[in-house]
Structure 1
Amino acid sequence: MQPRIPRQSAGEQDARRPDSADHDPRFSPELVSVVTGARRRALRDGDRQIDTAHLLHSLLEYDPEVNAVLGEGPHTARLLGYLVQRSIGYGLRWQGTVEDSGGVPAVKEATGFSPSAAATIEHACERAARRGLPRAGGVDLLAALVADPRTRAVEVLERAGVDPETILARADAHAGPASTP
């Protein structure tokens, strides 16, 4: 009798192991879930690296605070629609390419991330630190995602009719004033 669940090859099992970058001590538990989900999505899509669109999609799936910042309305449904279509139409031109907006310096320590996604993660952690928090959360990542207008995440947001500057203002208002060191 054949097992109901097919066996995985060693390569597939290794691909499912969490990367140490997923468990960065600067990440809140919610952000760890977001990064882990983005990694799974990238693997499922056949992408070599997590890009900013993977991070955005995972934020929408795993972080209710991010959904509160985005607000209700048809733009959220359109946004999810574009993100879901990534592997079946929208975003196919991204396959096989590395996301690098050139807008911010690449961070070399973040393995498994596109240069833009690595810089976004770093920016989110810096944003949390400026507010006096030891760990970055989903809203920090959302604000960092919209800070660079040349990323895939911003392209998806704009295509869905979501203004990145409005999202940044909402994220800043949601987080409250920055603490002074």
Structure 2
Amino acid sequence: MQPRIPRQPAGDQAGALAGNDAGLGAELVAVLAGARRRALRDGDRQIDTAHLLHSLLESDPEVCAAFEGEAQVARLLGYLVQRSIGYGLRWQGRVEDSGAVPVVSGVDGYSPLASAALEHARARAVRFGDGPPRCLDLLAGVLADPQARAVEVLSRAGIDARELFLRVEGLRGRSGEYAEWGEAGC
């Protein structure tokens, strides 16, 4: 029996995805590598925002600190783990897209919303002028579109993504940027 989703060999996908890592610091390159491994392990064709969120939580204590305590992070990680064995299976074979812009395949193996989250992180880092994007910048990008799979997972875990976005913005000393909520991109 043929798999429902054709898989790319891990080596080929890793090489293709490396181009989108340009200009990122070592911490975000590690996060993207973790998300890439998770997508391959889950049998997903593209890295989506839920993969990015999961990898951010596992990799960066600053991201975990943005949440309301360890219990909230543990509950969220529980939902993210279930993704590969339960409700996340309905996402397989579908492109993560908010519908706000014409569907295009993701850049270098990323879903359109994951690509937008990376661009949001880059733009946010430029605005703050303090070097390459950090994990909190990517977290803000992941939260920027309410149609993102990561936002759906947050909602299932009882976490208000809009409130989290505002908290992340406060951690960087900036507010008011959440006006983009509901709009695609950054």
- What TM bracket, shorter-length normalisation? 0.7 to 0.9
Aligned to 1:154: 151
Is the alpha carbon distance of 1:23 and 1:147 closer, same or farther for their aligned partners in structure 2, counting shifts above 3 Å? closer
Aligned to 1:113: 110
Of residues 11, 15, 21, the one that matches 2:19 is 21
Aligned to 1:7: none
**1:128–1:140 contact (8 Å) kept in structure 2:** yes
Give deviations 1:30-69, integer Å, cap 9, x for gaps: 1111111101100111111100000000000111110011
Is the alpha carbon distance of 1:17 and 1:111 closer, same or farther for their aligned partners in structure 2, counting shifts above 3 Å? closer
Q: TM-score, normalised by structure 2?
A: 0.81
Q: Distance in 2 between matches of 1:125 and 1:105?
A: 22
Aligned to 2:56: 59
Runs of at least 4 residues of structure 1 off by over 4 A?
15-18, 104-109
Stretches of structure 2 lacking an aligned partner (at least 5 in a row)? 1-8, 176-186
Aligned length: 168
Stretches of structure 1 lacking an aligned partner (at least 5 in a row)? 1-10
Is the alpha carbon distance of 1:84 and 1:100 closer, same or farther for their aligned partners in structure 2, counting shifts above 3 Å? same
Two-structure CA RMSD over aligned residues (Å): 2.3
Q: Distance in 2 between matches of 1:84 and 1:77?
A: 10
Is the alpha carbon distance of 1:88 and 1:34 closer, same or farther for their aligned partners in structure 2, counting shifts above 3 Å? same
Whether 1:133 aligns to 2:156 is no
What amino acid is aligned across from residue 120 of structure 1 in structure 2?
A: A
Q: Distance in 2 between matches of 1:24 and 1:87?
A: 29
Q: Find the structure with the greater CA-based Rg.
A: 1
Aligned to 2:36: 39
SS in 1 for 2:154: helix
Identity %: 56
